[in-house]
Structure 1
């Protein structure tokens, strides 16, 4: 029997800084940095490092991501690409096709799911390179100091309660395929469970040791030092084609933002192989629709059409070879001076590759899943290439200054969710709280998912153009993406943030003494 709860999470307002994340303890660690005088980038980096321990099935130092930063004084925007990269010695022939569909993207299935699970699915991680580069350019903390809260959490362990036990249980079967993952997450042969009123913790000594080594030797140790040697050796022994040279060559990449607008509001997204170009394309299509006083059946059909048309272009034409999940974590931060960070980090699938190299002690991504396994396509598996990613952090600016940092977790569901929330805010003048609580569609697949709490006419109207499935906004399965946002009323000098309304761990943390 399924239980349903009605949940109304409130937005948080403050004259000080705010951190919105998918885990309360991680958000609080970031807010503590703000309270100690740190800025938005300091808080974002600390929060993401803590998430790698506290919510390891979604993101981590074994993955990659994208980030946007906007200066609260000048409005200058910078973007950083630290997504995963395929090994240079990779051979596409190692991923032969067989009958059947292969998961999220409905591409052909790869033999033995080699692109989805196990050592062959692993790409070179970019998170440590990205976080350290972001901190060096915009932060005030040293990388060693930024690691300290995550080290403490790794030594204590991630909290074990009903929700974390559920998350581990969902993937217990796949985790058992790797000895390191089994030892870490299934210590007694099954998901950890602490009976009684007191919750427990699951220590991560391997990750604690790795983070301490980075604290001592610096971030590049992950790519060129002792940590890199350990990781490269373990990956090669497990059957990956990743090499020490791949790690040594990895660098995060600063780029100019891709700019766009929606009904006079300026937007900045990640250019290239992200969800950003698709978001701007969908919003461009949506501008042909005239919004009414409130979201209704007409707006639902407009969302479905703009997103489905965009997806038809995205999956057929975008990728590293083109001309010219489920599991991710997003952090939105605004500091007391109005500077903002919108940062998405992922290990791709839930628990990534399901591989925890025993000496390294961190979950590794399954970045090969993002490539189209069909040879000759725009996003085909290729050595040394970056895959087409779903992450879609965005910044909105008004009169040249940042007013909204927004993003989401949820694989292909991300940019449809971001587009709808932007529309709710821009077209209907909603607060973040109302925008997050308003039912959404998921238009990332040919069958449109409609939230069962939407009006009765919504599904009927969308069904005139697309197949429809009416679903609940459940914790599992995740039918709609999980957003986080931070905003600023520039005139009033007040910040506001909102975390996903139905997640038991998502939270907004305010700078101490405010909120």
Structure 2
């Protein structure tokens, strides 16, 4: 019954088109903040910084100043791509013996690691890694920003002072994690009401419920006045580290002071008559490159065969990823629940930024001194020792993020997605949709996909035609899933595209908050 009902409804999302700039974000108000920066004369980088901080306030369970991620930049004047890795690291004082395997089999969160006693690698202060996003944004602003740093944080500070509105969707997300949030007194105080999920604004049309984010506003104000490194070198960083250690975690002020994001040469690959630019190292960029390299030698002219090829290529790419990638300490500076936004300005500069706390609500721990919800980046490590990505102190996390810049003829696009291991599957298919099938951004974002994330099943959107499903079932165990608002069976993309001097943008069609905002044209 549910399957047949879902087929009767067709959801579409508006695609904006303009000669000016476009910001596509998983939260409309964050996109608007970025667009307002473009209207004020800011660069795509300036708009991205404003968007990043605002979405951290308004979608706090996905990302924020205590998270990490990666960014791809396109500098139109120089015809150059730049990669920025602001991923998390494990604290130097982490003790592996504090994460004993329970012997209960596979854990039940985002990754199929062996279960750790007490889930201390997933939830709580011991799950917290060194955050990186603020330092990454600071470095990018120093290199390419036009507007004052403090002006770019002003929208986020204003939103935090007002407090995030708890609408039906926010209440649903908070309700999904209420039991875990209740275990940390500061998280409970921020998100819950008497230990329960909060009242929904507008339920009786009499009251407006907002989160109290005053502490976060004060911390953002310090970062606005003193610069990005205030979170790492100053009293704010010291207070953050003390909060984590008081709750039993390892994060130290020395970890924060020694952290540096990396601006580096991208991983650039050719694919037929197209070219892609990715963040190299411990991201999903190499996995994307592996899958696209496999696809290049295949005939994708018929869609049923194309989706079978996607499944095979992604299975091979994930086998290589899970079997070989990790921070062994031998390489030079190498580069869930997540959010993604993309920006293009009227000059053609582009940003594709993915940022995350990792799990939904990260570690479910709030730093009371700063008001920041903390990441659980330690869950990115395999708790079993002796493997490339095994848990250890002072190691880079193996992230699933995959911001992509693509170019083909007179078209250029900046795509990315949230969704943990589902991200690279979505990016591979959407890159092929654009370059192999000539889809514009509207077609690419509305077309049904599959998900292949290293598990035993191929998950297929039930909106696929019978010919595609029949072909996928030849050699694959296929499970059907609808494209819904919550939970997400597939990744949630956001992206912008430039063709000639015309810019377009779109977000995941089932995301209730996601939207693209445009700079007003002259």
State the TM-score, normalizing by the size of structure 2.
Answer: 0.95
Choose the corresponding residue for 1:258, options 254, 267, 282: 267
- Give the count of matched residue pairs: 508
Choose the corresponding residue for 2:373, options 360, 363, 380: 363
**Displacement of 1:168:** 0.6
C-alpha contact 2:300 2:436 (8 A) present in aligned 1? yes
After superposition, the C-alpha distances for 1:466-514 in whole angstroms (9 at most, x for unaligned) are 2111111122221000001111112xx1111111111110000000247
CA distance in 1, matches of 2:443, 2:158: 36
Choose the corresponding residue for 1:460, options 463, 466, 470: 470
CA distance in 2, matches of 1:138, 1:379: 34
**Displacement of 1:12:** 1.1
Alignment-derived partner of residue 163 in structure 2: 157
* Residue 395 in structure 1 maps to residue 395 in structure 2: no
* Residue 109 in structure 1 maps to residue 115 in structure 2: yes
**Displacement of 1:397:** 2.7
**Displacement of 1:334:** 0.3
C-alpha contact 2:411 2:499 (8 A) present in aligned 1? no
* Residue 87 in structure 1 maps to residue 94 in structure 2: no
CA, structure 1 residues 402+78, in 2 after alignment: closer, same or farther (shift >3 Å)?
farther
C-alpha contact 1:330 1:343 (8 A) present in aligned 2? yes
Of 332-341 and 259-268, more deviation after overlay is shown by 259-268
Choose the corresponding residue for 1:334, options 330, 341, 344: 344
CA, structure 1 residues 458+398, in 2 after alignment: closer, same or farther (shift >3 Å)?
closer
CA distance in 1, matches of 2:299, 2:285: 23
For 2:346, what is the secondary structure of its paired residue?
coil
C-alpha contact 1:459 1:470 (8 A) present in aligned 2? no
C-alpha contact 2:408 2:435 (8 A) present in aligned 1? no
C-alpha contact 1:340 1:402 (8 A) present in aligned 2? no
Alignment-derived partner of residue 504 in structure 1: 512
Alignment-derived partner of residue 125 in structure 1: 131
* Residue 25 in structure 1 maps to residue 44 in structure 2: no
CA distance in 1, matches of 2:422, 2:223: 34
C-alpha contact 1:274 1:388 (8 A) present in aligned 2? yes
CA distance in 2, matches of 1:109, 1:458: 36
C-alpha contact 1:100 1:109 (8 A) present in aligned 2? yes
* Residue 143 in structure 1 maps to residue 149 in structure 2: yes
For 1:160, what is the secondary structure of its paired residue?
coil
* Residue 100 in structure 1 maps to residue 105 in structure 2: yes
For 1:498, what is the secondary structure of its paired residue?
strand
Q: Which runs of 5+ in 1 are unaligned?
A: none
Alignment-derived partner of residue 440 in structure 2: 431
Q: Which runs of 5+ in 2 are unaligned?
A: none
Choose the corresponding residue for 1:282, options 291, 299, 303: 291
* Residue 57 in structure 1 maps to residue 61 in structure 2: yes
State the TM-score, normalizing by the size of structure 1.
Answer: 0.96
Alignment of 1:108-507 (within 5 A): 108-192=114-198, 193-194=200-201, 195-197=203-205, 200-292=209-301, 295=303, 297-321=304-328, 326-398=336-408, 403-444=412-453, 445-490=455-500, 493-507=501-515
**Displacement of 1:140:** 0.9
